[in-house]
Amino acid sequence: MGFGNALTSALSYKFKIGNIDLKVIIFKYKKSFLAICALIILIAGFYIDAVAGIITKPISYAAPPPFVEQYKELIQYSEPEMIIQTVDMSELGRDLSEHKKWIEGFSYEEVLVYKSIMLSESPSELWQLFTHPELDQRIKIASALAAVNIKYTHNEESGFSEKRNQFWLDSIAHMPDIRNALSEALIESARSGEYNRIPYTLAWLPEQGAETVELFLWAARHHPDHNVRRSCMYYVTILSKDKKMVETLLTDAKRDPSYGMRTLALNLRYRQLVGTLPNVH
């Protein structure tokens, strides 16, 4: 007995209502019924393959894109004065005292970023830190910029977003140094395996381009922290104009050991299909 006949017999066994024999009805639509069953099996198989993680590959570190290292040769390094490590809230100036609730618990670098953006003070010290000869200092100020930006961008009460947009416009000449420091911070976090929220600020910098997407592609595949990989995969998907690159990344993601990565890849595919991804081009 074939599969179709066996399935029909099983489903039509004692299926009778009044004078209506359901066996006849099911037999009549057997091909349609079997087609639906096959489709359900295919969909289930696709979903299981995409998110179940039956076959996964470990995340391993690889060399980052070379443009970040190459940019170091172009930096006009500064030599700023010694950096203060703490902020004494009682010694804040009059203007900054009005912002006390917004900078409570901030590091010196975060206060410096906040002052430059919110009070439009001359950010000369800020630029010196973005071009500091020591990598650790560049990473500190890049991390501070990312932390302040993501904390207040969607806080309407703070008025940060409008001020930040003007800050970007006023900082165009320094944008390559800002982008480089953020890129270095993302790379170093991959080496150390630390979580960070650098991708958010890096993704929305003015004039970001193919190099930023390339860095996100690398981080989506090689950063040890799955939340960083998730962020970078999302930004590659919405920022890249290379559809083949995006397709390859989303396909590879189903072998990622993180369930969150696999489900996000499936979600992004669905949003591509229905056209609900942000249009940033």
- Tell me which amino acid residue 260 is: G
Name the domain count of the chain. Answer: 2
Q: Are residues 33 and 77 in the same domain?
A: no
Q: Identify the pLDDT of residue 208.
A: 78
Angle at 33 between CA 27 and CA 39, to 5 degrees: 160
Strands (E), the chain: 16-17, 20-21
Q: Nearest Cα to 147, choosing from 181, 188, 99, 113?
A: 113
Q: Which domain holds residue 19?
A: 3-51
Q: Is residue 190 part of a domain?
A: yes
Distance of CA 137 to the CA centre of its chain: 24
Spatial separation of the C-alpha atoms in residues 225 and 241, rounded to whole Å: 26
Mean pLDDT by runs of 10 across the 281 residues of the chain is 50 48 56 69 58 74 95 87 52 62 89 90 86 95 96 90 93 95 98 95 90 97 98 97 96 93 94 88 66
Answer yes or no: is 73 within a domain.
yes
Residues 122, 194: one domain? yes
pLDDT, residue 81, reads 64
- Same domain, residue pair 26 and 132: no
47 and 74 both lie in a single domain: no
Residues 123 and 30 in one domain: no
pLDDT of residue 10: 45
pLDDT at 13: 44
Residue 62 lies inside a defined structural domain of this protein = no
